[in-house]
Amino acid sequence: MTILDKFQPLQGAYDAVRAAGQDPFTVCFDAVLSPSEATLKGRRVILLGTNNYLGLTFDGECIESAVEALRQGGTGTTGSRIANGTYDDHAVLERRLAEFYGCRSAMLFSTGYQANLGILSTIAGRGDHILIDADSHASIYDGCRLGQAEVIRFRHNDPDDLARRLNRLKGAPGNRLIVVEGIYSMLGDTAPLAEIAAVKREWGAHLLVDEAHSLGVLGRNGRGLVEQAGVEADVDFIVGTFSKSLGAVGGFCVSDLPDFDVLRIACRPYMFTASLPPSVIASVTRALARIQEEPGLRARLTGNAERFYRGLRAEGFVLGPQAGPIVSIRMPSTEVAIAFWNALLEAGVYLNLALPPATPDNAPLLRSSVSAAHSEAQIGAALAAITAIGRELGVVAAPASRAEP
């Protein structure tokens, strides 16, 4: 008996996935050549599963800012924000984020995961209730577990179910915090935010929106679903990440609540970890400016995403409910999903294999994330490869055998 024996069922399932081909959880690129291309075992692959929505990982200005900061400020801060790890550039980025969202305050975290972990575990305490969408990201679930509040799940994207659950809490003491995401990371659908904001107002709750996948992607100015839905005044906290549209790593929370900054000395995942290095702060600061200066990036992303979604739908694939930068194809079984994913990699297309229990409805998915950096030719090549393999594996029918409408 060892302490790791309990992982035997997990190890068994993992071995079965690995036996079917390339191990999807240890894909190691030889070189990443651009936001949309890499080499893997000596062969070129199109990157269609990287969350690099605006392609900013190779943006010349972001790279130059990072290099200069690296030379000037060194490789790392070697300390927490509340000790030696706050440089002027951290404070500047927090001000820029607060200005971008029109809020009083912003706090940086070392990852998006930690932003959720820190904010959720700190702002909701013993006696409070957190109401989270059932399809919430692991970092939201983990942030809830780290804190002392009672956690209630409501049905995915169902404001009526949320209202019912708030109604059941009538008379209970404490605060209520509703947590939703702008774009959900697995199926790419958006939250019905106007309706959720109405429920929030009706029940006097607080509202937190995780815009990890929607910052720089949605809204006229790239301020996410909160901007697109016109509910900025109703949202108390926005959490986001630098690891997707901004092309780096790190996370943040912005808020207009006057006392928000007290969290700097209360929030453990902020206080007890090293702060982001100067090079990351510099590239993110530049990337935040780029998304404001260049709305064309967003337009290109939307164009690519719509073309990709429509192309797959026309072939008969079962997709998430909305066109957007995350396009997930529902697979009939885990075995087919694994075979499909391996065949695509062989054909030069990398995307994400998402398996239960990490997926909504326990459905195996092939999850792609489209980028503004994809060329028309790359989108076309990916569509062609997915279609060919989908027909071969019987996921979709070939045109001749399709039933006439």
Q: Which of 241, 275, 334, 387 binds ligand PMP (CB under 6 A)?
A: 241
Contact 344, 381 (CB under 8 A): no
Give the whole-angstrom CA distance, residue 345 versus residue 357: 23
Sign of CA dihedral 171, 173, 175, 179: negative
Using the rule CB under 6 A, is 121 a contact of ligand PMP?
no
Q: Which of 117, 171, 113, 114 is nearest to 145 (CA)?
A: 117
Using the rule CB under 6 A, is 135 a contact of ligand PMP?
no
Question: From the CB of 241, what's the least distance to ligand PMP, in Å?
Answer: 3
Which of 38-46, 78-86, 197-205, 208-216 is the region at the interface with ligand PMP (rule: CB under 6 A)? 208-216
Rg (alpha carbons) of the chain, rounded to whole number: 22
Using the rule CB under 6 A, is 210 a contact of ligand PMP?
yes
> For ligand PMP, which residue has the nearest CB?
112
Q: Which of 335, 325, 393 is nearest to 364 (CA)?
A: 335
Residues 57-116 that bind ligand PMP (CB under 6 A): 111-113, 116
Question: From the CB of 53, what's the least distance to ligand PMP, in Å?
Answer: 12
Using the rule CB under 6 A, is 275 a contact of ligand PMP?
no
Give the whole-angstrom CA distance, residue 284 versus residue 328: 28
Question: From the CB of 48, what's the least distance to ligand PMP, in Å?
Answer: 16
Q: How many residues contact ligand PMP, by CB under 6 A? A: 14
Residues 165-204 that bind ligand PMP (CB under 6 A): 181, 185
- Token duo for residue 265: 């000395």
Question: From the CB of 366, what's the least distance to ligand PMP, in Å?
Answer: 17
- Residue that the structure tokens 């071969």 belong to: 392
Which of 54-62, 76-84, 205-213, 341-349 is the region at the interface with ligand PMP (rule: CB under 6 A)? 205-213
Q: Which of 50, 65, 105, 139 binds ligand PMP (CB under 6 A)?
A: 139
Using the rule CB under 6 A, is 251 a contact of ligand PMP?
yes
User: Using CB under 6 A as the criterion, which residues of the chain lie in contact with ligand PMP when the complex forms?
Assistant: 111-113, 116, 137, 139, 181, 185, 210, 212-213, 241, 243, 251
